[in-house]
Amino acid sequence: MVKIARWNHDGGTREGFVDDGNCFALPAGCTVSTLLAAGLEETLAIAAETLRSVRPVSLQDVQLLAPLAPSTIRDFVAFEEHVEGVRKSIDGVAGVVAEWYEAPTFYFTNPHTVTGTGEVIGIPAGCDDLDFETEVAAVVGHVPGSDGRNLTAAEAHRHIFGYTILNDWSARDLQRREMKVSLGPCKGKDFANTLGPWIVTADEFEHLHDREGFLPISMAVEVNGEPIGQDLLSNMGWPFAELVAYASQDSVVRPGDVLGSGTCGSGCLAELWGRNGSKTPPPLKTGDIVRMTVEGIGTIENTVGERREAVTRVAARNRPRNRSVFEGESAMSA
């Protein structure tokens, strides 16, 4: 199994491969981005040579980082069960809107606030309803002869370089306000995403795909050691290849792009709040430990930190709706 990671050790950051409890660093100047740009086939050859020739460092002696610095992060909402529960929690309405079934839906989130396993995730200012979201993400790599535009599902499948775990942290009370404006989420989401613990290359999953391209691997999450939810990745409404293909339509996917599956069924608190009719289990609080495990990939774990005490909301000005500049107010006449 080829695992690609980034880590801190002995005062520096290294990038490379993890195998049998050890880390094998790439040579200076070669990074995870280099591997993604090279493509899967060449990366597998580089991995074989690196594992053969490089002196390893024990995984126990390093601090894992997010396995890549994403170019972009598109996060889909591909699990019907999740949509159903969260809609009840956010909007108080049962069922799934008809538009969800018509095509995949995603939003862009912040690639600059990506964190790794083991990091402390602070509660953003103004948030009382901190939540997690249990997801798998596909990482895009280079395919020779393809520019990543208007891909078919078969072509898009070849662009999937590997898979990692994604925790799309969510400030539900901030998100609830934003979604009423029919735009977003924005500040309810962009304070943190966790990726990790590494990227497992796509070839490791080829034998697991069913006839339609879905991956029946288990996803689970627990808080403070207590199980919260479990689902199969194959319960997505679309296989990953179709999500990547959809993202590329009249657009482009490039090496280093990350595409999240969206939250699995029972993979977050808000969904359970909608189904239970109350905030049960309760929102995350300082000191809580969130642990996500995905079959064939691994585990990420983060501790919730302190809440930043600040007021960040700024009310709109009550301005007149003028259609022309009043006399004496024109900057041109000043």
Per-residue model confidence (pLDDT) at position 115: 98
SS3 300: strand
The two three-digit tokens of residue 52, written as one number? 């053969």
Cα separation, 103 vs 256, whole angstroms: 24
Name all contacts of 48-54 with Cβ < 8 Å and 24+ positions apart: 50/16, 50/17, 50/24, 50/25, 50/26, 51/17, 51/19, 51/24, 54/16, 54/24, 54/25
- From residue 16, give the alpha-carbon distance in Å to each of 107, 194, 205, 273, 316: 30, 19, 20, 41, 48
User: What is the pTM assigned to this prediction?
Assistant: 0.95
Cα separation, 248 vs 227, whole angstroms: 36
The strand pair at 298-307 and 120-123 is best described as parallel
Cα separation, 10 vs 180, whole angstroms: 48
CATH architecture of the region 73-307: Alpha-Beta Complex (3.90)
Question: What secondary structure does DSSP assign to 77-140, as a single string?
Answer: --BHHHHHHHHHHHHS--S--HHHHHS--EEEE-GGGEE-TT-EEEEPTT-S-EE--EEEEEEE
Report how far Cα 228 is from the mean position of its chain's Cα atoms: 19
Per-residue model confidence (pLDDT) at position 333: 53
Taking alpha carbons only, the member of 275, 312, 284, 256 closest to residue 129 is 284
Cα separation, 145 vs 224, whole angstroms: 48
Per-residue model confidence (pLDDT) at position 306: 98
Per-residue model confidence (pLDDT) at position 329: 58
Q: What are phi and psi of 81, to 5 degrees?
A: -60, -40
Ranges under pLDDT 50 in the chain: 327-328
Per-residue model confidence (pLDDT) at position 183: 84
Q: Are 166 and 194 in contact (CB under 8 A)?
A: yes
Burial class from Cβ neighbours inside 10 Å (0-12, 13-18, 19+) for residue 202 reads buried
Locate all alpha helices (DSSP H) within the chain, ordered by sequence.
32-38, 40-53, 80-91, 98-102, 153-159, 172-179, 240-248, 269-276
Cα separation, 197 vs 165, whole angstroms: 7
